[in-house]
Amino acid sequence: MVSHFLSLQFLLLLIILQCTTITTTVAQSLAPAPGPPGPTNITKILEKAGQFTTLIRLFEITKVGDQINTQLNNSKQGMTVFAPPDNAFSSLSAGTLNSLSDQQKDELVQFHVIPTFISMSQFQTLSNPLRTQAGDSTAYKFPLDITTSGNQVNLTTGVVSATVANAIYSDGSLAVYQVDKVLLPMSLFGPPAPAAAPAPESGNDKKKDKDDDSQSPSDDSASANSSDAVDLRRDLHGLMGGAIAFIAMFYL
């Protein structure tokens, strides 16, 4: 009797286990497949990393954040962002950001964005100056030079030198690197460009000046000779008039 009861319990346990397995398999088959990852969003990446509230606010004010997201999802070149944390912005002189116009804020943020994807290993093969989204990379505009020393990556703007602290994000399309300082471009924070040197005087101009100088004395001499001739004629007329008057006295 006991043996029969144990057999029933064992059979019941097998049935329960079989039902559990079937239920799990059916549930898995009915569960929706995971969808593709959503579009890359620079703001969400920085929010997840933390300590980038000032940069996020600038991305929102200038709409550069939306521009980055649009370019990432419509271009195959990828992008690279140098992200200064909040303490880097705090180290700027008081009122620095508030003193900038909307256009200058846009240029400052664009200066931190490279329109191509750059991996850590690629920093060693870049040519300077590196072109940023701010545009003109010539001196006194938006030059950005990158040098490497071992695994360290240094960035120089002509106004400030910064270092890449660490990689925040990289997916082969977008690379985000934390930098220890705000990248200040020459165009906004550097000294004014030196005034252009005057154009050298051409050989024709020098010859013309020399000819003018050589003609001036001749003109003065001609004027003097003309004046002397007038005085001489006046004296001759006076003498002739006196002689005629003297002769007439003897005939009257």
Summarize pLDDT for 87-121 with one digit per residue, the tens.
999 999 999 999 999 999 999 999 999 999 999 99
Give the confidence band of 76 by pLDDT, cuts at 50, 70, 90.
confident
Conformational region of residue 131, where left means phi above 0, alpha means psi within -120 to 50, and beta covers everything else: beta
Cis peptide before 84 (omega within 30 of 0): no
Beta bridge partners of 156: 145, 161
Most confident of 2-6, 86-90, 222-226, 235-239: 86-90
Name the DSSP letter for residue 125: G
Residues 6 or more apart in contact with residue 115 via CB below 8 angstroms: 71, 77, 79, 131, 132, 133
49/43 Cα distance (integer angstroms): 10
The predicted model gives 37-59 an average pLDDT of 91
181/183 Cα distance (integer angstroms): 6
Name the DSSP letter for residue 132: B
CATH superfamily of 42-189: FAS1 domain (2.30.180.10)
The predicted model gives 44-49 an average pLDDT of 95
Listed range (25-34, 160-169, 226-235) with the worst mean pLDDT:
25-34
Q: In what order do the strands lie in the sheet with 174-179?
A: 113-114, 79-83, 174-179, 161-170, 152-156, 145-149
Give the confidence band of 176 by pLDDT, cuts at 50, 70, 90.
very high
Domain borders along the chain are 42-189
Residues 6 or more apart in contact with residue 124 via CB below 8 angstroms: 148
188/194 Cα distance (integer angstroms): 15
pLDDT of 1 over the 60 cut:
no
Q: Are 78 and 84 a contacting pair, CB within 8 Å?
A: no
Q: Helix or strand or coil: residue 138?
A: coil
Give the confidence band of 35 by pLDDT, cuts at 50, 70, 90.
very low
H helix or E strand, kind and range, residue 189:
helix 186-189
